[in-house]
Amino acid sequence: MKTDFYKMTIGEVSEGLRNKEFTSLELTKAFLERIKEKDKEIKAYINVTEDLALEQAKIADEMIKKGEGNILTGIPCAIKDNIMIKGVKCTAASKFLENYIAEYDATVIEKLKKSGAVFLGKTNLDEFAMGSSCENSAFFPTRNPHDLERVPGGSSGGSAAAVAGDLCVYALGSDTGGSIRQPASFCGITGIKPTYGAVSRYGLIAFASSLDQIGPMTKTVEDCKIVLDVIKGKDKMDSTSTDSIKEVKMDKIRIVVPKEYFGEGLDKEVEKSVKDVIEFLKSSGAEIVEVSLPNTDYALACYYIIAPAEASANLARFDGLRYGIAFDGNEVDKVMDIYLNNRTNGFGKEVKKRIMLGTYTLSSGYYDAFYKRALKVRTLIRQDFEKVLEKVDIILGPTSPCLPFKIGEKSDDPMSMYLADIYTVSINLAGVPGISIPCGKSSTGLPIGLQLIGAPFEEEKLFIISSLIEKKYGRN
């Protein structure tokens, strides 16, 4: 077995399996050993599913012997712990679901199982996917493999850290306002939020249903495309899903750079790295145009009205009575006291904050003033993207305005934390696809990510241009 197989891509691992250089069982055992050794520091996993992984590896080896399966057969991966795997705990990093065992498979899990994938475990996240640092988990914070004193980003921080720390070959995450792309940037990997509807959300514990999207987190652009090709597509269990991802050809690359993405608050090293890529693309023959996305400045405020509003409705089902943990109370003699006791003890601080914010903006006195107005702004943001993307191939800018920050650094400053998503939330509001790829490192060796945004269902353009950049700058 190759000594550097932990860093191998999906294609390289698949080739090794097909050429009988190693078996899926050998590979899986090696990754499980590495998790035991390395994840004590990184803490990417909430739950390591060793028995399941070994069983799946044996099945995958039989599939390979028979010439069955596809490129993902026998390859160990990690799954964000808000995506259901039947018979496995699915906690959403919350005390409320600490002992909840999923009763069915998410559609993406069904597709991976049919491919013969191997699930190493469930990865950590901000509770119910609400956060930008993976510090809001009810269990423990995850650490950035590039610097263990820093956050991996959020909410899919566990998945990003597992890929970056070579604790799996690839992972799945979910993205509501940047939760795949921002941790991908912080951890120096590739992550894509597909077009809304391109991947089924069935079996994903909902945060904000009109914004949530499942997507892959990988070591390379090619790996990202491979996984997306397997999990994408229409699903009868998700009425918003569709088979609309297009095959595209590109003769000349036309790129837009919004001036709003290079304003106040952008770290100088991030700005330099992104502008270096712009110059590289220009020298490669790409047409670069600066434009304005005038409603970008309102995206964060719009997001933090719509997302908490949807979250307050989605999380209303968690009461500790039907499922989850029921917390004992003293002299509880009213139903309302039971609800209050369970929810007070079950939800973390950030989740409570967003439930209260969402409930407030949906209340009768404030619905028109806040929520209805935010929906109108969302339409304007979507129209901004539509107008620009009619004439060009992609929009380019930084993934995050800042470098990975230290654990605890922004805990007492929620606005500063929310601003880490300033370049990503508008993509979810508009429903368009966005990918984050590495584009360099800071002077202290921290990863820097570049974001490419495309028209709906034109993920292929993102992959083509991302691959061009990856060939020049490599992978972190």
Q: Cβ neighbours of residue 287 under 8 Å, at least 6 residues apart? A: 252, 253, 254, 255, 392
Secondary structure class of 101 (helix, strand, coil)? strand
Length of the chain measured in residues: 476
> Which residues form the catalytic set?
80, 155, 179
Bridge partners (DSSP) of residue 424 are: none
Tell me the backbone φ, ψ of residue 449, rounded to 5 degrees.
-110, 150
- In this structure, are strands 170-175 and 76-80 parallel, antiparallel, or unpaired? parallel
| Distance (Å, whole) CA 297 – CA 316 | 31
Q: Which sign does the torsion angle of CA 444, 468, 191, 24 carry?
A: negative
| Distance (Å, whole) CA 130 – CA 308 | 9
| Distance (Å, whole) CA 355 – CA 163 | 31
Tokens standing for residue 13 = 């691992």
- In this structure, are strands 190-193 and 118-123 parallel, antiparallel, or unpaired? unpaired
Q: Which of 390, 391, 377, 392 is nearest to 430 (CA)?
A: 377
Q: Which of 248, 284, 159, 290 is nearest to 455 (CA)?
A: 248
Other Cβ atoms less than 10 A from the Cβ of 7: the count is 12
Other Cβ atoms less than 10 A from the Cβ of 319: the count is 18
Other Cβ atoms less than 10 A from the Cβ of 290: the count is 10
- In this structure, are strands 118-123 and 434-441 parallel, antiparallel, or unpaired? unpaired
Q: Which of 163, 193, 161, 160 is nearest to 175 (CA)?
A: 193
| Distance (Å, whole) CA 91 – CA 3 | 34
- For every residue of 184-227, DSSP letters joined together read HHHHT-EEEEPPTTSB--TTBPPS-TTT-EEEEEESSHHHHHHH
Give residue 196's identity as a one-letter amino acid code: Y
Tokens standing for residue 195 = 């077009």
Tokens standing for residue 307 = 């997302």
| Distance (Å, whole) CA 164 – CA 119 | 17
